[in-house]
Amino acid sequence: MPYPGVIGYNGAGFASEDDVSDARAIAGMIDALGGMKTGFHDKDFLLTWLHSDVEVRALVQTARILEELYKAGISTRVFESGLAVSNFRDKSTRTRFSFASATDLLGLCPSDLDEGKTQISHGETVRETANMISFLTEVIGIRDDLFIHEGHRYMTEVAGALDDGYRQGVLPQRPCVVNLQCDRDHPTQSMADLMHVAELYGGLENLRGRRVAMTWAYSPAYGKPLSVPQGIITLFTRFGMDVTLAHPEGYDLLPETLDVARRHAAASGGSFSHTHSMADAFRDADIVYPKSWASFRIMERRVELLKKKDMKGIDDLEKECLAENATHKDWECNEPMMARTRGGKAHYMHCLPAEISGLNFPEGEVAMSVFDRYRIETYREAGHKPYVIAAAILNCRFEDPAAVLRKVLDRRVPRRGV
Amino acid sequence: MPYPGVIGYNGAGFASEDDVSDARAIAGMIDALGGMKTGFHDKDFLLTWLHSDVEVRALVQTARILEELYKAGISTRVFESGLAVSNFRDKSTRTRFSFASATDLLGLCPSDLDEGKTQISHGETVRETANMISFLTEVIGIRDDLFIHEGHRYMTEVAGALDDGYRQGVLPQRPCVVNLQCDRDHPTQSMADLMHVAELYGGLENLRGRRVAMTWAYSPAYGKPLSVPQGIITLFTRFGMDVTLAHPEGYDLLPETLDVARRHAAASGGSFSHTHSMADAFRDADIVYPKSWASFRIMERRVELLKKKDMKGIDDLEKECLAENATHKDWECNEPMMARTRGGKAHYMHCLPAEISGLNFPEGEVAMSVFDRYRIETYREAGHKPYVIAAAILNCRFEDPAAVLRKVLDRRVPRRGV
Amino acid sequence: MPYPGVIGYNGAGFASEDDVSDARAIAGMIDALGGMKTGFHDKDFLLTWLHSDVEVRALVQTARILEELYKAGISTRVFESGLAVSNFRDKSTRTRFSFASATDLLGLCPSDLDEGKTQISHGETVRETANMISFLTEVIGIRDDLFIHEGHRYMTEVAGALDDGYRQGVLPQRPCVVNLQCDRDHPTQSMADLMHVAELYGGLENLRGRRVAMTWAYSPAYGKPLSVPQGIITLFTRFGMDVTLAHPEGYDLLPETLDVARRHAAASGGSFSHTHSMADAFRDADIVYPKSWASFRIMERRVELLKKKDMKGIDDLEKECLAENATHKDWECNEPMMARTRGGKAHYMHCLPAEISGLNFPEGEVAMSVFDRYRIETYREAGHKPYVIAAAILNCRFEDPAAVLRKVLDRRVPRRGV
């Protein structure tokens, strides 16, 4: 019973006494989770490909259980106190609120490390700060996606500092680090995307053989991270899907992630292919994910210029990029393009915000008529993210998340009401 | 027993076991609330005149119950988790902390949407953002008072987006929207003001026939919102009071709000009159509320200039306004003016911060000697606001707030202590 | 049994049933606290020397109990709601997170008063704002350390406003004010430092006769507060320690604090001496605390210039200071200097962040090899601060903190898990 319908929510803040079957359904999901052997405990959630298949499945299962408990109005507060520190080194709306929602849902107190307000600007080292903010902290969520080769490195540096602090008795617990987007992966996004497609098709086991087009799309903006396409090709290939990556020449991803995608496809019985034609990728696709990004070679040059503080060089690079982008305005997800997909009815996905031609930009990633048709689907896609984050915390911070969730279900504390 | 004295608070964090009479008093107040039929549930709190008389009374009653429970040291935590998002598009101290206090009092987690930090600046649509911040959100409080014709429109746009998201299954619950000041109304302020006068006179039923002077007053500042005077004339006329609006020529309010005031006065048996003389308004007044504002015609011109990005025009308009303001320095609430009120002892009200002649400004809204005499009263007036906000949330988010409060009283969880 | 080992933490979120001896150890600590008669209740925590010896000991004892309860996985949530307002008028990382951690640990909701966002910039008075942010507030933490003679004055002004508001019925409770660093003292830091040395030597009663060198050290930075050295010399002299203050000529502290140090030393049987030689201070020291600061005479000139808005004068003063600083680069805590201490093995202390020669600065307060050896000790030192803040709140806000903690121990609510 992979994706049961939404469990009845009686509006009074908790499931009615005779919702026995709902409770049984959730209990079954928890039992299934309990059967999965993972090595998450006291680890971090940084890149999905650092985790085994069963860990990825356990994360999805945990997130689904949290969703069902939420809809059933059952409190999933499992911490009485503890900070949930977020460190956004780039702008964010949806991930910021997803992190706050997720951590509050578990009983933690979201607390933003606004580096402008702190002494990090005084030359304080990462190692020291990581410990100083962690004395009573259970999770640190980090977004660091502006510089290629930097974001993941920074997160592992924080993680290493926490390991050291915990081992040496500085920290009474080891907070987990959750990647809220780096230069390599955007795992809470890709996992939410995975839950979305699983819901569309009735379960992870029904994804085998689905054709996915992860494609570049035109945008008048510059320098978007590579983490979303890298996250999709590495994750979706695990489930037997036929994933095609498409982009104009020069918009390459990090080679490492293509290697991971190939390896995953081989292991799962799916496939991974690579093309420079959007039209080819869309042909007979079940799912399309058209999205703008910069090439990693451009990002590398940008980092070098930044290190040299060559602002003139950066301006020139930006102009060069935008001019190059502008030669690919035909990479738009429009009606003729959608008509090439399976039955003309592929599912359109996007991490949002999308750049919609004629709405927020004259020309963008997607035609307005296409986006409008799938708008609500993209909102639902985004709606999984808070649960993915909460699920990552539960798995990283508890040795036996299933046991914790079983108690949550048994105590039946209403999330709202008295 | 409309306004019983403060219920004994034993300092240990909860009412003593033999505070049976206090508990009975609160229980009686809850029963009275239970008898009021309202249509608040799953609605918003945007403009007081969108609500029936009984809804306004229910809101006051709920706020009073929350105050008594607070003073009795009884926890009113009715949410185990959930975000309370605030979006301040203009500066705020007291409302910001009132919102944080109120939402924390109910168990929600205050979370500020600082638009500078988010991707709204990337051209994201209101509709999308409203959903993205609301997956696990119970209330969104908005201040948007800088532009005439814009604030209320924005709030209804957010509300519409939430309706849509809830109906389409994007949101598992429909958060309520609470107006923390718009171009038309400042309902949490005017309701706190109403509670204040009810307390001064021993209950809402004792307000009939009281003379209220809602008057403009001189300020060296420019462009203050109209929402407070509009809120007062529309709300106080509901309770049989004789409300006089006074301002120099040219400082008109939105005509719609004058219509509402006239209609409410006719229905309640009170009166609403309009004059260009502060002295006339103060004659025999029981209550005076002298406060600066801009005229809506100036605000309209300002919005037009802003839309055209005509910064020179805005500077010129500001100079014109300040020059015009300066011709009305005699609109000061000073001792001679107060001497005209009933027995020279009218109650002075203000939403704070006041502009006090000789204190924070050479010449301002109120003479220092007058303000000093009523300073503590204005602080008490402000003290109702957190409870008004919490009461709005309770009424919007629960079908039967009286039932919830009854359980809160019965369980007697101490707010502090163990 | 002053400093029992860390109490066993079984990782499941709470102490196991047979941790009877641990529970007994904590119960014993609580009984000892119960025997201490303090006058903390409804007071503030501003300067340690405003408190009696027994109050200082009670604070340490409370902090230690909170640490043990934390390590034992027992929730110390004693508030169901209530704001914990922080007002940082200077940058902060560790104190900001310590305050958030501490208040969340007790169940309060941290809420930052960012003065840039509020109407304080509109000329609102301190008295009014103090009340407006306090209607449902239990604690206000303030950092105001930039201006000599100003920080402590501001805090007492806030405290006076709260007294007045509480007495006049504006506030249903009197929040306590906790000094998070002012011009005179940094009491949460010095108390954490005291706990650190007590831990190093096995209890407060083992501090008698220890030689402490509180010394100035070279820094390329300008205008660091005096509060840390002032806090150390006034507090450590209470416990029979032999405290030497050392700094180059011209880097004097506030004379008042030297008087306090002398008085405390006389009363405790310790000593307080004052020298202009780092080498002398280090000789046979058990503990060294080398740290940069500005002289209070410079700070006074700076405040005068600021009041006159003489920015040219301030620039000149800064240059003058840095030039003067640069003549004292030999005030570095390096290996030869450490070799002078008792057995060459004094404990090195720092409030962090330290300025480490060759790491974050070419020349700084401490040689890299020295800092590296004590790095983990300085982290542990910092780790006491959240508990000190929480202990101050418990003592200020509860008449009988021992009774509250006894109930906390008895109910044994797990801090994490279900």
Domain span at residue C338 reads 189-382
Cβ-based burial of C269 (10 A; exposed 0-12, middle 13-18, buried ≥19): exposed
Mean pLDDT value across residues B247-253? 95
Q: Are residues A221 and A330 in the same domain?
A: yes
Q: Are residues A372 and A413 in the same domain?
A: no
Q: Is A129 on the interface with C (CB under 8 A)?
A: yes
Q: Are residues B353 and B313 in the same domain?
A: yes
- Do the domain assignments include residue C199? yes
> What are chain B's partners, defined as 3 or more CB pairs within 8 angstroms?
A, C
- Name the band, by pLDDT with cuts 50, 70 and 90, for residue B121: very low
Identify which has the larger pLDDT, A297 or B325. Answer: B325
Identity (one letter) of the amino acid at B157?
E
Work out the mean pLDDT of chain B and round it to a whole number: 92
**pLDDT surpassing 90 at residue B20:** no
- Closest Cβ opposite residue A418 in set B78, B83, B165: B78
- Closest Cβ opposite residue B71 in set C172, C408, C411: C172
Q: Are residues A412 and A364 in the same domain?
A: no
- Closest Cβ opposite residue B94 in set C132, C168, C169: C132
- Do the domain assignments include residue A172? no
- Do the domain assignments include residue A361? yes
Q: Are residues C138 and C240 in the same domain?
A: no
- Do the domain assignments include residue C391? no
- Closest Cβ opposite residue C93 in set A120, A172, A404: A120
Residue A11: per-residue pLDDT: 38
- Do the domain assignments include residue B84? no
Q: Are residues B231 and B355 in the same domain?
A: yes
Q: Are residues A350 and A413 in the same domain?
A: no
**pLDDT surpassing 50 at residue B243:** yes
CA–centroid distance for C353 within its chain: 14
> What are chain A's partners, defined as 3 or more CB pairs within 8 angstroms?
B, C
Q: Which residue pairs, CB below 8 angstroms and at least 24 apart, start in C323-331?
A: C324/C250, C325/C218, C325/C219, C325/C220, C325/C222, C325/C292, C326/C220, C327/C248, C328/C216, C328/C218, C328/C248, C329/C218, C329/C363, C330/C218, C330/C278, C331/C215, C331/C216, C331/C217, C331/C218, C331/C248, C331/C278, C331/C290
- Residue B361 and residue C133: Cβ atoms within 8 Å? no
Residues of C in contact with A133 (CB under 8 A): 93-94, 97
Tens digit of each residue's pLDDT (9 = 90 or more) over B256-266:
999 999 999 99
- Residue B382 and residue C132: Cβ atoms within 8 Å? yes
Q: Is C126 on the interface with B (CB under 8 A)?
A: no
Residue B418: per-residue pLDDT: 87
DSSP string, C286-297: SEEEEE----HH
Omega within 30 of 0 (cis) for the link into B401: no
A56 touches A267 (CB < 8 A)? no
C188 touches C44 (CB < 8 A)? no
Distances (CA, A) of C274 to A40, B407, C284, C285, C336: 55, 64, 15, 14, 22
A360 touches A149 (CB < 8 A)? no
Of the residues C121, C155, C183, the one at which a domain ends: C183
- Do the domain assignments include residue A124? no
Instruction: Find the residue in A nearest to C71 (Cα).
Output: A172
Which neighbouring-strand residues pair with A275?
A246
Separation of alpha carbons B301 and B297, rounded Å: 6
Q: Are residues B335 and B254 in the same domain?
A: yes
Total structural domains within chain A: 2
Instruction: Find the residue in A nearest to B135 (Cα).
Output: A383
Question: Tens-digit pLDDT profile for chain C (418 aa)?
Answer: 333 333 433 333 334 555 677 899 999 999 999 999 999 999 999 999 999 999 999 999 999 999 999 999 999 999 999 999 999 988 888 899 999 999 999 999 999 997 765 444 444 588 999 999 999 999 999 999 888 888 999 999 999 999 999 999 999 999 999 999 999 999 999 999 999 999 999 999 999 999 999 999 999 887 899 999 999 999 999 999 999 999 999 999 999 999 999 999 999 999 999 999 999 999 999 999 999 999 888 888 988 888 888 989 989 998 988 999 999 999 999 999 999 999 999 999 999 999 999 888 889 999 999 999 999 999 999 999 999 999 999 999 999 999 999 999 999 999 999 8
Residues of C in contact with B414 (CB under 8 A): 80
The C-alpha of B260 sits at a distance from chain C's nearest C-alpha, in angstroms, of 31
Residue A1: per-residue pLDDT: 30
Q: Whose CA is closest to B370, among B332, B343, B330, B329?
A: B332
Residues of C in contact with A399 (CB under 8 A): 11-12
- Do the domain assignments include residue B129? no
Q: Are residues B196 and B249 in the same domain?
A: yes
With vertex at residue C62, the alpha carbon angle to CA C58 and CA C68, rounded to the nearest 5 degrees, is: 145
The C-alpha of C293 sits at a distance from chain A's nearest C-alpha, in angstroms, of 16
The C-alpha of B169 sits at a distance from chain C's nearest C-alpha, in angstroms, of 30
Give first-to-last CA distance, chain C, whole Å.
32
Residues of A in contact with C382 (CB under 8 A): 131-132, 135
- Do the domain assignments include residue C302? yes
Q: Are residues A354 and A248 in the same domain?
A: yes
Work out the mean pLDDT of chain A and round it to a whole number: 92
Separation of alpha carbons C337 and C248, rounded Å: 16
Q: Are residues C270 and C294 in the same domain?
A: yes
Question: Dihedral through CA A202, CA A208, CA A210, CA A216, nearest 10?
Answer: 110
Instruction: Find the residue in A nearest to C74 (Cα).
Output: A80
- Closest Cβ opposite residue A81 in set C6, C361, C415: C415
Q: Are residues A207 and A345 in the same domain?
A: yes
The C-alpha of C92 sits at a distance from chain A's nearest C-alpha, in angstroms, of 5
Mean pLDDT value across residues A359-379? 94
**pTM confidence score:** 0.95
Q: Which of residues 24-83 of A touch B (CB under 8 A)?
A: 70-71, 75-77
Residue B124: per-residue pLDDT: 53
Residue A2: per-residue pLDDT: 34
Interface size between A and C, measured as CB pairs under 8 A: 119
Residue A19: per-residue pLDDT: 66
Beta-strand runs (E) in C71-180: 83-88, 109-112, 137-143, 176-179
- Closest Cβ opposite residue C104 in set A81, A117, A169: A81
Identity (one letter) of the amino acid at A123?
G
The C-alpha of B273 sits at a distance from chain C's nearest C-alpha, in angstroms, of 33
- Residue B136 and residue A104: Cβ atoms within 8 Å? yes
Instruction: Find the residue in C nearest to A169 (Cα).
Output: C380
- Name the band, by pLDDT with cuts 50, 70 and 90, for residue A221: confident
Q: Which CATH number is C360's domain given? A: 3.40.50.1370
**pLDDT surpassing 60 at residue B11:** no
**pLDDT surpassing 90 at residue A172:** yes
- Closest Cβ opposite residue B81 in set A88, A104, A382: A104
